[in-house]
Structure 1
């Protein structure tokens, strides 16, 4: 692999048939579930991830233990694979670009770079809005004190977010006044930020969409999300609140966005539904998403199999949902429900005794507060039944019940 100089990209390869290798940047739980789907289809997976014993490396056929920017690591990865993907949007786009000279990368470095910069993402959404009628929240970029002084009064109260690297509620602060805005900018150490106007939110939905190298796109049913402390708590699929008109508008907007990006792979786009029923696009994740985990147990083709298909340049699968589902995120906090110092394994036998329970643990060696350790999906003939069983699981695990109770 030639890292030192850039060469023209190779012509797109023929579909990578099962039995071949796929390369994965990142070794977390999303990479683990991608690897499980790839292995089920007969593929072997090489994972590049600096952390030893990471969730994906436990089951992948080869682990390249190296930094995402390591030239030696990238060279080793391409010894195994010629089709590549990523499970983590903060993998350096430059590394994905270099891999692109060796074979197809799904999604491309150019697509990932848009999602890595909140201002670039909002500018892109705004351009798409001229065709879809769906726009991001009013916002303002802030990189210095002059930008704070220029903030319009109607943008407050708002949320100040770092342009890069924030996720699961990190790197963002709610502000009500210009004085609070200035203090928050200091707290975030004067990183380039974006201020987003707070809107009268009714609920949030996710639209999971996938696009193949041939331009074919498929979209999943609308999922509805509930958060706690900035982290996804519960996903309900299909959304019990979204109207047919709003669902259609969100899905059409997602299909336009993925096409306009020239994206290949699985993309999750989050939208806000406001109290007046209007739709606002929030952000996108250039990878399979936590809110799409229900697809493993409730859809013909899971989001991870879909990513395998797109990466290998194979036809995409059906997104049909065969049963309603709810998904409960499992954080490390529940290991400490009996003691603040000694973790105790949760009573998984009681959870698995509940109807329709599907347990997915990520193989993380150490439970920590706020750390995603796994998820449980409940499937049932009716959404209300799945919700009931999720509530029972919360009671068993000592988790505060969701707000619909």
Structure 2
């Protein structure tokens, strides 16, 4: 794509969850149509989009229909089949590039790429057998976080190991599903934070203020802005995020999760090649949200100003917490977003609420 998409053009979105829904809304504000590819009829994104293709993400017929319907394609989650994204990229623009998907889908590949780009992560080891696990634990002093290399999210596919002797490793890999694993060092961090940033095709970059993130049972519970991060730490985290996007040849919005260390340093935990849960606050506290920023980037438009006009606290509404929606609507300075999901389940993100306040002297 060498010129910005004209109003009325169609943006394809692979994935029909809440992120696709919010992207479709942002695209409509800028005058674009959207077509969603998702196997679930009337998925949350399709409720706001111009049309939906009901089909598997790797179905050749569905992909051909998407390629014939859209002017550019993006995606809302990082487990899109890479082969499908590459197939689409032979026919039209796919942004962010499939390379970002390929790297983000494997935790070992991801950390290796980050390290090769000069970005620090926790120490880690590939684990394919109980013997590998014993050796890795020995190198890390008997403790670590054992994770599946692929498909884990919201705390799934993870097991914390503390003080485990080498002889106690028998059967652990089998219990994790006999899939490729990675053992990561347990990091003694002060708090977690994330940087949401964007890169345009011409290399222009922008970053939102970082958010301090609080998790519960592996799921993001709350994001707070300002995050109370030292200026030097903030500058380093932004520089690492920009370096990562440059190395990926990235176009679009990215979410990079960090561990803040007591000495002012930081480590990258992981990155998501898409809009990110910890950036939902931007829809209430910035003139240009992360969703609009992503649409601008993939459509070839100028990136927007990421400055915020308010402080913000964003909280996910998980499971039955959606029943609080009516009460939340009565609260001042509160922005409520529901995802249009038909079924409420424990641990399922049903919406989010952002409370805004005037900028403070520290903000």
TM-score by length of 1: 0.86
State the alpha-carbon separation in 1 of the partners of residues 347 and 301 from structure 2.
37
State the alpha-carbon separation in 2 of the partners of residues 362 and 233 from structure 1.
16
Match of 2:260 among 262, 270, 273: 273
Say whether 1:30 aligns with 2:30: no
Cα deviation code 1:108-157 (max 9, x no counterpart) = 1111110001001000111122xxxx410011001123322422524231
3-state secondary structure, aligned to 1:226? strand
Structure 1 position 168, deviation (Å): 0.2
Distance 1:72 1:218, change over 3 A: same
State the alpha-carbon separation in 2 of the partners of residues 383 and 99 from structure 1.
46
Other-structure match for 2:135: 150
Distance 1:42 1:170, change over 3 A: same
State the alpha-carbon separation in 2 of the partners of residues 243 and 291 from structure 1.
19
Say whether 1:320 aligns with 2:320: no
Say whether 1:225 aligns with 2:202: no
Other-structure match for 1:122: 111
State the alpha-carbon separation in 2 of the partners of residues 152 and 359 from structure 1.
45
Q: Contact 2:286–2:309 at 8 Å: present in 1 too?
A: yes
State the alpha-carbon separation in 1 of the partners of residues 177 and 203 from structure 2.
42
3-state secondary structure, aligned to 2:190? strand
Structure 1 position 303, deviation (Å): 0.6
Say whether 1:377 aligns with 2:362: no
Q: Contact 1:13–1:104 at 8 Å: present in 2 too?
A: no
State the alpha-carbon separation in 1 of the partners of residues 2 and 171 from structure 2.
52
Q: Contact 1:13–1:103 at 8 Å: present in 2 too?
A: no
Gaps of 5+ in 2: none
Structure 1 position 67, deviation (Å): 0.2
Say whether 1:161 aligns with 2:147: yes
Structure 1 position 17, deviation (Å): 1.4
Structure 1 position 310, deviation (Å): 1.2
Q: Contact 1:82–1:102 at 8 Å: present in 2 too?
A: no
3-state secondary structure, aligned to 2:270? strand
> What aligned pairs does 1:134-149 form with structure 2 within 5 A after superposition?
134-149=119-134
Q: How many residues align?
A: 359
> What aligned pairs does 1:34-53 form with structure 2 within 5 A after superposition?
34-53=23-42
3-state secondary structure, aligned to 2:174? helix
Other-structure match for 2:330: 353
> What aligned pairs does 1:2-401 form with structure 2 within 5 A after superposition?
12-129=1-118, 134-151=119-136, 153-155=138-140, 156-176=142-162, 177=164, 178-179=166-167, 181-240=169-228, 242-334=229-321, 346-382=323-359
Q: Contact 1:148–1:182 at 8 Å: present in 2 too?
A: no
State the alpha-carbon separation in 1 of the partners of residues 122 and 183 from structure 2.
10
Q: Contact 2:133–2:183 at 8 Å: present in 1 too?
A: no
Distance 1:298 1:45, change over 3 A: same
Distance 1:17 1:138, change over 3 A: same
3-state secondary structure, aligned to 2:293? helix
Distance 1:353 1:74, change over 3 A: same
3-state secondary structure, aligned to 2:113? helix
State the alpha-carbon separation in 1 of the partners of residues 32 and 120 from structure 2.
40
Q: Contact 1:31–1:87 at 8 Å: present in 2 too?
A: yes
Structure 1 position 222, deviation (Å): 1.1
Structure 1 position 183, deviation (Å): 4.2
3-state secondary structure, aligned to 1:151? helix
3-state secondary structure, aligned to 1:280? strand
Q: CA RMSD in A?
A: 1.6
Cα deviation code 1:286-317 (max 9, x no counterpart) = 00000000011111211100111111111111
State the alpha-carbon separation in 2 of the partners of residues 48 and 88 from structure 1.
12
Other-structure match for 1:389: none
- Kindly report structure 1 stretches of 4+ aligned residues shifted beyond 3 Å: 178-184
Distance 1:314 1:55, change over 3 A: same
